[in-house]
């Protein structure tokens, strides 16, 4: 497709389970960003990649969160041993360039941990 695609759109899981969220950026976009947005709050930075290299993971809350982009295209955000506080909308965005370039956001993956 022409836009940023995220899957699944909705994920309900039980506490303690692992989840994997996928982001398929616009073809050719160098930079890929992961954000998290709690209900009624603004987006919160998690991590980002330029090509396949993870440039900054300072926003990942703890070591249960990890992300990869092995071939510089599709990225996966993995949350291990999920907790209720992990419930949020997880958003991915991509941009053509590194320091500049318009951001294109996916529709997000809403995670609910019971």
Partner 1 sequence: KNEVEQSPQNLTAQEGEFITINCSYSVGISALHWLQQHPGGGIVSLFMLSSGKKKHGRLIATINIQEKHSSLHITASHPRDSAVYICAVRFIGNEKLTFGTGTRLTIIP
- Token readout for 27 is 């073809």
> Applying CB under 8 A, which of residues 5, 20, 45, 76 lies at the interface with partner 1?
45
* Smallest distance, partner 1 to C-beta of residue 37, A: 9
Q: Is 4 exposed, middle or buried (0-12, 13-18, 19+ CB in 10 A)?
A: buried
> Applying CB under 8 A, which of residues 7, 13, 20, 43 lies at the interface with partner 1?
43
Contact mark string toward partner 1, 65..104, x via CB under 8 A: --------------------------x-x----xxxxxxx
> Applying CB under 8 A, which of residues 25, 29, 31, 60 lies at the interface with partner 1?
31
Tokens 């976009």 belong to residue: 29
Helical segments of 1-79, H only: none
| Selection from 84, 76, 106, 78 nearest residue 2 by Cα | 106
| Selection from 34, 45, 21 nearest residue 110 by Cα | 21
> Interface with partner 1 includes 114 (CB under 8 A)?
no
Task: State the residues that interact with partner 1 by CB under 8 A.
Answer: 31, 33, 42-45, 48, 50, 55-56, 58-59, 91, 93, 98-108
């Amino acid at each position: 497709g022409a836009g940023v695609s995220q899957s699944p759109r909705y994920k309900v899981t039980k506490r303690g389970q692992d989840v994997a969220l996928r982001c398929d950026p616009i073809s050719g976009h160098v930079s890929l960003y992961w954000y998290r947005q709690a209900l009624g709050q603004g987006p919160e930075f998690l991590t980002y990649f330029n090509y396949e290299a993870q440039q900054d993971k300072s926003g990942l809350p703890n070591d249960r969160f990890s992300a990869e982009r092995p071939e510089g295209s599709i990225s996966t955000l993995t949350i291990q041993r999920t907790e209720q506080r992990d419930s949020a909308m997880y958003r991915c965005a991509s941009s053509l360039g590194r320091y500049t370039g318009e951001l294109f956001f996916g529709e997000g993956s809403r995670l609910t941990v019971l």
